[in-house]
Amino acid sequence: MIQTFQRDDERAPNERPVAFVAPQHVPVRTAAGMGLAPIFATGEWDAPQPGIERAVILIHGRLRNADTYFNLAHRARAAAGHDSLDTLLIVPQFLATADVDAHRPAADTLHWDWTSWMGGGTAAGPAPISSFEVLDAILERLAQRERFPALRTIVVAGHSGGGQVAQRYAVLARGERQLAAHGIGIRYVIANPSSYAYFDAQRPVADGGFAVLDEAGCPGFNTWKYGLNQLPAYAPPAGTDGERAELEAAYVRRDVVMLLGNEDCDPAHPALDISPAAQTQGPNRLERGRAYMRYMQMRHARELQHRLHEVAGIGHDGVGIFLSAHGLAALFDTPAAAGDANANNDNNNDNGSSR
């Protein structure tokens, strides 16, 4: 069964078991151990799919309602004029321990605490595997030419909490290395997250510029997932300025599209991250996203290829974002209608929303 978005889902507590656990899985093997990550996917995951040219990986939000996002992915694919013959849809599910307790999936099913998966944290069981290593495992499978000989493009996308995953993974990603050798491109689509990972101690100030914050005044504002201090175990070493610069340079080179609803500006939204660290980035999701793009443009005026599109009339709404012309263009490279953007800004109620 596939759930549909409900208008009050964004106000539902995330700390309760999910209604559905995804029926397929991807095995994740690392030095830390092995586990199974549940996924929804079109087609048989282990079977060759010779006609697939694009794979869209859509990441759920804090409610972990992967079935809802799988439904949305189907709707977006149909709206873009594609089908299961050319476009593979994948929605991984980052289960909480409570989900495993409620549904009793296979004993080796990976599970996290309620939200640690958003920043690449390690699973609570059956092995300390990063949520980012789940994405690595999916990309590794997609890179197998005997299964996907025609694959040319992979999109890793998420809204709200899923947007946080997409943004942080784009900063630390290891899984794309194997794709380049096969001529497979990858894009990251980051929609309406509550916060971003900054590369230094600068944060936006009232005049639109940036200033260096003092850790004493806001402890933890530059700790991962908000900055590069205390990176997760998944990350490469980044203790020196040179190592941090390498992470930033890699992020700048990546194909990144940011999507913001121009009405996602409620500073009291029930799913907005209002921690002190998040509030240093701005009062609401719209201002935080705009500020982050200014920050990246300030630091990389010439080489930055990232794009920001604002979707007019849309708030914290995953359906509205991904079914908009700019959303479809980001996911499927369909033409984006000029009227869908907010006043030349080319730089939802995600009812399954997440911080």
Of the candidate ranges 5-19, 101-115, 157-171, the one whose mean pLDDT is the lowest: 5-19
Q: What is the pTM of this model?
A: 0.92
pLDDT band, very low/low/confident/very high, at 150 (cuts 50, 70, 90): very high
Residue 347 pLDDT exceeds 60: no
Tell me how far the alpha carbon of residue 20 is from its chain's centroid.
21
Instruction: Dump the DSSP string for 97-139.
Output: HHHHHHH---TTB-BBSSSGGGGTPBPSBSS--BHHHHHHHHH
Helix or strand run (H / E) with residue 327: helix 325-332
Residue boundaries of the structural domains of the chain: 9-340
Return phi, psi of residue 99, to 5°: -65, -40
Specify the amino acid at residue 90. Answer: I
CA distances from 187 to 34, 54, 55, 114 (A): 27, 11, 11, 27
Share of the chain above pLDDT 70, in %: 91
Residue 191's alpha-carbon distances to 36, 48, 92, 284, in angstroms, are 27, 31, 17, 14
Output the pLDDT for position 335.
Answer: 87
Confidence (pLDDT) at 46 = 77
The average pLDDT across 222-233 equals 97
Burial environment of residue 120 by CB neighbours within 10 A (0 to 12, 13 to 18, 19 or more): buried
% of the chain exceeding 90 in pLDDT: 84
Whether the CB-CB separation of 188 and 166 falls below 8 Å is answered with yes
Span 145-153, average pLDDT: 96
Instruction: Please give the average per-residue pLDDT across 142-159, as a whole number.
Output: 97
200 close to 96: Cβ distance less than 8 angstroms: no
* CA dihedral (220, 265, 259, 16) positive or negative: positive
Select the CATH number that applies to the domain covering 9-340 from these four: 3.90.1300.10, 3.40.50.2300, 3.40.50.300, 3.40.50.1820.
Answer: 3.40.50.1820
Which pLDDT score is estimated for 336?
Answer: 67
pLDDT digits (tens, 9 = 90+) for 6-64: 333 443 468 899 999 999 999 999 999 999 999 999 988 878 999 999 999 999 999 99
Query: What whole-number distance in Å separates Cα of residue 196 and Cα of residue 225?
Result: 7
At 170 the pLDDT is 98
Bigger pLDDT: 277 vs 10: 277
